[in-house]
Each structure stands twice: as C-alpha cells, then as structure tokens.
Structure 1
Amino acid sequence: MLADSHAHLVDRKFDSDRREVVERSRAEGMSLVIDVGYDLDSSRRSVDLAGQADFIYSAVGIHPHDSGEAPKTYLDDLKKLAARDKVVAIGETGLDFYRNLSPQDVQRQVFREQLALARELNLPVIIHSRQAHEDLLDILRSDKVGPAGGVIHCFSGSPEMARECLGMGFYISFAGVITYKGNNTLKSIAASVPPDRILAETDSPFLTPEPYRGKRNEPLYVRYAIEEIARIREIPAAELSKTLLENTRRLFGIK
C-alpha cells in the first residue's frame, strides 16, 4: 500500500529498464505513482506511460529549469494534454533560483501562467521551490491557487513557510532527503504537518534515500521516506502508508 506522489519515470535514466521498474513497482506493493512532466516532451511521454499502467497517473507542466525554452504555444499544448485520460495535475512548475537555468523573470511569468491554467482547469498544481521561497510565496499570495489546491513537492522551506502554505490549502510532500543525517528542521516540519495534508515522494530518479543514496532512485524506495516519517511522527509505518495513499488520492481526485 505505497503511494509515490512525485516521480519522473519518463526520465532518460529509465530508458534501459523502464518496463522492468514499472513491473517491479506493481509486483512489490506500489498502489499509486504520480509521474510528473517537466517540459512538453516529458509531459507527452508521461501521459503515454500512464496509459500503460493502471496505478500510474500523469501531471503535465513546465519545470522552472525549462521555462526559458517553452514555446509560445506551450499553454495550449498543456491544455490539450491535460484533457487526456489520467492527467490529474499541472506541474511541475515553480521557481528555482539555485541553478538559474532560466531567467528569473521568465520563471515567474511561466509559473504564474501555469497557476492560472490550473485554476482554469480546476486541477491541483505541483510546485517546485528551491532557494526562491519568498519570491514563490509572493506569487502565491497574489495569484493564489484554485479550489483544487496543490502540493509543495520535496519541501525544503522553513517552518514558517510550511505553516503559510498549509494555510493556503497546500499539501506538503517529503522526499528521500528526509532520511539523510541532520536535516533536523525538515524532520521537525515532517512531525508537525497535519495528518491529512502530508505526502511522500521519491522524485525518482533523483534524491535517492538512505540506504541507496548515490544510486538511481525508483518509486519503491518511497518506503524509506515513509519509514523515516513514521519514526519521526511515532506511528506505525503501515498506518502512515495508508494515510499517505488516501491523501494522494484525495489531492489528485483519484477514486
């Protein structure tokens, strides 16, 4: 009964064995995976992948790294993709001022446009924020999200940011980083998020948890993040897994 709320199974790092990873995930207990696009090509491939496995659903969007390369037609393209079966969210979108692979003003514009698209389509939004937290919050305060809400994926902000995002209606998702030594602030946030607003993810093939850190990540490894969150919250991992699956289904409107 495992749910991975954020993975990139269409990433090229899975090209040699994607089918095997999907089948292993199914065989070993994955109930739900949200595969997340980061540009138009990956979004198209994510939609196709979702059509091949009953437990995989898709999100379509433009990552801040790729916002500078987005064609002028990208919003129309995303809108068409979002109409396809098993597309449950817009994203991942947001701001990343750590690597600055796209100009910051372009990142802000493309983020705002995707927030508006999510509101128009009544879909939740999957948000990326790295070393841009205050800028991101400024946009969310002014532009807001629709009633479908959204998630701050791979949360890396402060307790104050977590509280404000929760107040805006967001879910907070924790990735394999939660298993790394230290990270006491992140662990304290994971302990305090309300039980109906917490998610877990892998961000596969990135952010591999202990004990596999340094190797390619995959959806099944979400169990290590879940085990650590359960330890922090002092509840059984099986109980948390059930809650996380329910939360992921609720956010993304999956029966």
Structure 2
Amino acid sequence: MKAKDYRDRARGDLAAIPKKTYLLMGLVMVLATALTHATDKMSTQNSSDWWISFILSVIASFLTSNGQIFFNRWRMAIHEGDKEPDAWCGLSSQHLWKLLIYGIIEAGLLSILLILALGGLLVNSSVLFMWLLAVAITAVIVWVELRLSFVVYEIDEDVRLNRQTSVWSEILDSWRLMKGRCWKLFCLNLSFIGWYILVFFTLGILGMWLQPYKSLANAEFYAEAKAGQEEQ
C-alpha cells in the first residue's frame, strides 16, 4: 500500500472511535510532546537541572508510548473484534519497566552515534567534512529510529498475550520486521508534513486530532508488516 492508503484506513478507524475518546488521548500526546520540548530547553539552559529534565522526559516518553499502544489496540478492536482498550492500557507495570529499559538502550545507541560524530569532528575540522558528517550521522540516526519504530507495539503484544519475552528480543523483532520497509515508513511519516505545518499555525491545537490520526496510520502499517512477515 501507499502512504495515501494508510491514511485513508486511519481516517476510517478514527471515524469508528468516539470523538471525545480520541481527542482526549490526542491532547495527552500533544502535552507529552510539549513536555519533551520543554525539558530539552531546560537541560540546555541549566545543566544542574538535568535530573528533573530526565524524569520529565521519561514521563513524556511513557505518555507517548501509551498513546501509540492505545490507538493500536483500538485498531484491533475495530478490525479484529478485540475489546475496546482502557485509556491507560500501555502503562501497566509490565509495560513500564520494559519501556524504561528500551528507552535507556535507545538513548545509549544514539549517544554512541553522537560520540562517534564528535570524534570525527575533532579529527577533521574541515567545513565540508563537518557538513558531510552531520548529514551521514543524521541519516544513520533516522535509519536506526525507523528500524526501532515498532518496539513499543512488540512490547505490548507480548504483554497482551502474556508472553515472557525480553526487551532485547522485542527490539530484534522490530529490527527484523522493518527490514526492507524503512523507506516506506519514512514516506508515510513524511506525508504528514503538511499537517504538522497546520499544527504549528494553530499553536498545537490541531495536534489533538493529528496525533490519533498518525498513530492509527502507523498502527495500520504495523499490522500490514506483521501480516506480510507471517506470510514469508
């Protein structure tokens, strides 16, 4: 399917969810995004508050992951006859400790990439080299993030099915699932750029609708990828 097809399906899913339900969760996800930006600004302005920034960043990450799990479960309720999810279905104790470990691992991987970039800059101070290195590191980070896009969904699936699986296994599951699919997911995410511009001009208010819409589109992508993986 193309990006337009995923968006069409997502709009159909959104129409099947009570408006009050998805707007409230959309608001929570918007606030989580705003909290992330606020903590980034806080950490750059005052390094002594890094621990407060870290805790708030973790909370924001949990809220965002909960929203993704919530809308993926709604997609399953609509198409697979599962029961309607609880608003905080992604914040069980089983979810939280796995999401925390995954967050630490992901942060560690990104830190290694940034350290390598800094090392490269120290070795060569050429302006052209700096630009090329910045582009290369950005591309690698985007690629890694795309390969790990569905770790949250894999964690929730194991929790939902009561499978005793390690976080490393769930990270590898997402990594394998996204093999050959990164460009397609990148194009899907890029197709929302016009909406993000509108979110900016509405001071984030439109994000209450966009976050559920995009989450459902990603859930549709994940469902199709899983189906394709099972057929192989």
Which structure features the higher share of helix residues?
2
Asked which structure has the greater CA Rg, the reply is: 2
Which structure features the higher share of strand residues?
1
Name the TM-score, length of structure 1 as normaliser: 0.27
